[in-house]
Structure 1
Amino acid sequence: MTLIELDRETPLEVELGRRPPLAHHRRTGLLLAVALLAVLGGGVPATGMCWRLLGVITTEEFPDGQVQMTGGQIYTVDTTDDEPVVTAWAPGDGLTRLWSDRVPVAMAGDDNIAPVNSVSVRQSGEVVLLTAGFTTTAVDAATGRTRWTSPISVTVLAGNTTGVTVERVFRPGTEYDQDSGDPGPLYFTATGEPHTEAPIRTEVRGIDLASGGTLWTATPGGSVNVDMVAGEPAAVLITASSRLTLRDLRTGAELRAAGLPKLDGKGPSSGTLLGDVALVRYEDAAGQIAYDARTLTRLWRGGSADAVPADPVDCENLLCDGAHGDVRVLDPRTGRTRWRVQEDVDLTARAGYVLETDAASGEPVRLADVRTGVVRADLTGWTGDVPGTADQPLLLWRAGKAGTRIFAVVTPGHPEIQRLGTAAKGLDDCDSDGNFVLCRSATGLRVWAYRI
């Protein structure tokens, strides 16, 4: 493990004496640079790191402690009233309160939906989407002014100004009587109402996130899965019972389509997207087929899946097979085994690597190469990791003196562990994004900047 100390608990001792000639410093610096290149292979992170407390948001300002980060801003959520209140904070030299806004839980007339206990906050350019229950409200990111409201959830793709809604249409008379308690499969509308039959069609719409206007509508038959495909152009992948369709996210134009076969007489039951690979799974564990999400070219077919193991591994944003003690990490594009882990660990894609954590304690164990499983960093001695997305830096922490916490970071593409700094004692759960770390405490929310 390579540990780059960016701050120290005690100052370095300096030996006083005669100053060596400048040429001596040049030779020493050159030798040091060569040594670093030899050891790190040129892997010194290009992004500078810092550790600076920006401020504290008190518990009075977010009573129930919900907080989210998106688009470089912090959003606290108060759900103690019937309508949640979202407050936006801009981190900079300190923490600047931008606006507070009440979020409607349901459209007018929908009086059967109970108040929610959480709100999803997502930012897309100049618009912030606030989803409470099934209702999405778009507000101006700078002012909090409401732009438009949708009665159903809106799916977004980072960096794009077009979202997608999915609404299932059912045959009249198939509403389920919840007081009856009758058994059987149930199918749900976009607002949660149960039906006893599958939908006759699904309406997939492209939504302009600035105005809320509908840009296009596609109406595949039956129930479908909808995934957003990054790249150029951004696209929507629709998985139906017999067909894959790729549509342009902005215009809705059909880019490609491919028929889906049956396996052992069974049709597809679900579809998921893993990177640039679409996985189509079949009914009754008949197997799965992988397709390139862009070209819709068939990549491989997997055999009948075994029963769910008694001790399944948590494998996030990776394709795995097996249980704790013997997990195979698979190549999504070939279905072949890349490497095995014969320990009781869970796996998560983080900072361009695979983070292995102890299945019992949750403590980080190591960072492994995603293709080979070769250990890139030994994480022994670190107590936990701070939640974040797969493409963001990995934040680690361990206990310091007198109840404090020591933080470190691993940036994508650079497996060296870089020490950041020490935080005050009394911290609870922490979250992070690409630039900030926030931790809850009894007195409020403490926010640090860690990336320049």
Structure 2
Amino acid sequence: MSAGPVVIDLGVRTHEPPAEPAPSRPALARHLRTAVTALVVALVLAVGGSAPPPGPALVEVAAPPTSIWQQELLVGDRLYVVHPPTERSSRRTVTAYDLTRGADLWTSPIGVENRAVGPEGAASLSVVGDRVLVYTEDRTFVLDAVSGRVRASVPHEVEGGAAGVGLSRDGAWVLGAGESAEVVAVDPATGEIVQSFVVPPGVSTWVTVTGGAVTGSISDLDTGGVLWSTGPVAAAELLPGESPSVAVLTADGALEVRDARTGAVRRSRAGVVDGAAGRLRPAGDLVLVQDDWATVTAYAAGTLEPVWDAVLPGRGAVYGCGAVVCAAVDGRTLLYDTGSGRPLGEVVANHLDSRGGHLLRLGPREGELEHTVDPYSGRPLVDLSDWPEPVIPADGSPLVLTRPDRLPDRAWFAVLEPGATRIRMLGTVPHPVTGCQSSATHVICRTEGGVRAWQYR
């Protein structure tokens, strides 16, 4: 027998409790706020819980074609490569790669035809604004960074500056006569004598290298033409800033700031050093001038008014190193405040390197890192001895570090952000790496299979 439909009679409640009074408006508003807040929190948790996990911090993005004896430069997400002549191309070529898209942007031949296939002299690259500068053995080629078109070539090594001007320096030589003389070569960075020899008696004419004397030529990087020349001076340096200018230490000891395009003297201060025995270095908003390698005076680049002076405890060389001024003296590097010249501390090192927002003490091997340095005291901060092989940033991007893994076919990468005191690991790559460069977004290295590029975050 089939059961009939079951009907449940809920009936009507005859003893309903009396209704509660309606809540007041303030109480109702509080309840609504509480409900809305709970709903928002629930939605946030739901969305956060459903978001995909972050991807790896280091991802290979490109492996551009590689040739033997090439030179490369990483700037941002672009890789510029100078290839030597090949059997197919009798001239050097420059190629720009877009690492984000993994595509060639352009390739341009430079220089004269050379039928020989093999290593040539090294080429150096730099990027200034929308120009790529490639220096070979005796000439600088200026290419348009967007199209690769060769804008100009200059028969010198050129230091690129703003507004399309470049500075070239040639050594100034003085001829003399006599029975004997000593010829001395001085390292312009440290003042150390690196080579000397005596011309034997009976030689009536010899050449003496004067103390750092140079001739500066200013070229137009769009035409290659020389705009003006300094003549023999003690030193000439491009100054940073939107309005391009050149600081010149004249042969009679005057400090001048000249317009980079016209050579017109904007500011001048006489009697800065004794004759031509002087040295000049820009350091941020300062121009550092040394007389006899021991006395240092800092001048404001905008006015040439003296800001401070200091006497080094021996012969040395001063230079800007990030937030402070450094002076290399007798195996030590002294630190000075940029605003007052007050001594801040010292580090036992011949030279400190400012890179990636950090002041670095280098190890005994070339390029080896030891630790970061507090620029205001000289004390060590972050130990980098486990990361002996630095990655060279082409700009002020973070300091990327690398080291080989215990497995021979792997390498580790890490990053030390500007101002950070802890190293952040990026991960490993399945290749041994050498000759790495970095930007704010990418790392390129030479591997067993050629050049590879990784994007990091």
Give yes or no for TM over 0.5. yes
Which ranges in structure 1 are unaligned for 5 or more consecutive residues? Answer: 1-19, 28-47, 107-114, 188-193
**Pairs within 5 Å for 1:38-437:** 50-58=57-65, 61-70=66-75, 72-79=77-84, 84-96=92-104, 98-104=106-112, 117-157=121-161, 160-166=163-169, 184=183, 204-214=216-226, 216-220=227-231, 222-241=232-251, 242-262=253-273, 267-283=276-292, 285=293, 287-303=295-311, 306=314, 318-322=325-329, 327-341=333-347, 347-359=352-364, 364-373=369-378, 377-379=382-384, 381-389=386-394, 391-400=396-405, 402-403=407-408, 404-437=410-443
Contact 2:294/2:314 (<8 A) preserved? no
**Whole-angstrom CA distance in 2 between matches of 1:448 and 1:102:** 29
**Whole-angstrom CA distance in 2 between matches of 1:117 and 1:223:** 30
Q: CA RMSD in A?
A: 4.4
Change (3 A) 1:143 1:23: closer
The superposition leaves residues 141-161 of structure 1 with CA deviations (integer Å, 9 ceiling, x where unpaired) of: 34433222222222212x542
Deviates more, 1:434-443 or 1:349-358: 349-358
**Whole-angstrom CA distance in 1 between matches of 2:176 and 2:135:** 25
The superposition leaves residues 66-92 of structure 1 with CA deviations (integer Å, 9 ceiling, x where unpaired) of: 222347532223346795443332222
Contact 1:136/1:151 (<8 A) preserved? yes
* Structure with more contact order per residue of length (Cα contacts < 8 Å, sep ≥ 6): 1
Report the 3-state secondary structure (helix = DSSP H, G, I; strand = E; otherwise coil) of the residue aligned with 1:57.
coil
Report the 3-state secondary structure (helix = DSSP H, G, I; strand = E; otherwise coil) of the residue aligned with 1:184.
strand
User: Percent identity between the aligned chains?
Assistant: 24
Contact 1:319/1:332 (<8 A) preserved? no
**Paired residues, number:** 381
Contact 2:73/2:80 (<8 A) preserved? yes
Partner residue in 2 for 1:441: 447
Give the TM-score, by structure 1 length. Answer: 0.69
**Whole-angstrom CA distance in 2 between matches of 1:23 and 1:94:** 42
Change (3 A) 1:248 1:117: same
Partner residue in 2 for 1:112: none
**Whole-angstrom CA distance in 2 between matches of 1:229 and 1:437:** 30
**Whole-angstrom CA distance in 2 between matches of 1:168 and 1:231:** 26
Contact 1:116/1:132 (<8 A) preserved? no
Report the AA paired with residue 61 of structure 2: L
Change (3 A) 1:145 1:196: same
**Whole-angstrom CA distance in 1 between matches of 2:319 and 2:272:** 30
Contact 2:373/2:382 (<8 A) preserved? yes
**Whole-angstrom CA distance in 2 between matches of 1:370 and 1:186:** 32
Cα distance, 1:118 vs. partner? 0.9
Report the 3-state secondary structure (helix = DSSP H, G, I; strand = E; otherwise coil) of the residue aligned with 2:407.
helix
Cα distance, 1:94 vs. partner? 1.6
Report the AA paired with residue 418 of structure 1: R
**Whole-angstrom CA distance in 1 between matches of 2:163 and 2:123:** 21
Which ranges in structure 2 are unaligned for 5 or more consecutive residues? Answer: 1-37, 46-54, 187-205
Report the AA paired with residue 130 of structure 1: V
**Whole-angstrom CA distance in 2 between matches of 1:124 and 1:361:** 27
Report the 3-state secondary structure (helix = DSSP H, G, I; strand = E; otherwise coil) of the residue aligned with 1:402.
coil
Contact 2:139/2:155 (<8 A) preserved? yes
Contact 1:397/1:405 (<8 A) preserved? yes
Larger Rg: 2
Cα distance, 1:340 vs. partner? 3.0
**Whole-angstrom CA distance in 1 between matches of 2:112 and 2:166:** 20
Contact 2:218/2:228 (<8 A) preserved? yes
The superposition leaves residues 173-216 of structure 1 with CA deviations (integer Å, 9 ceiling, x where unpaired) of: x599xxxx9863689xxxxxx965869x97645433233345x4
**Whole-angstrom CA distance in 2 between matches of 1:105 and 1:413:** 48
Contact 2:74/2:444 (<8 A) preserved? no
**Whole-angstrom CA distance in 2 between matches of 1:305 and 1:77:** 45
Cα distance, 1:407 vs. partner? 1.0
**Whole-angstrom CA distance in 1 between matches of 2:367 and 2:148:** 38
**Whole-angstrom CA distance in 2 between matches of 1:154 and 1:414:** 35
Give the TM-score, by structure 2 length. Answer: 0.68
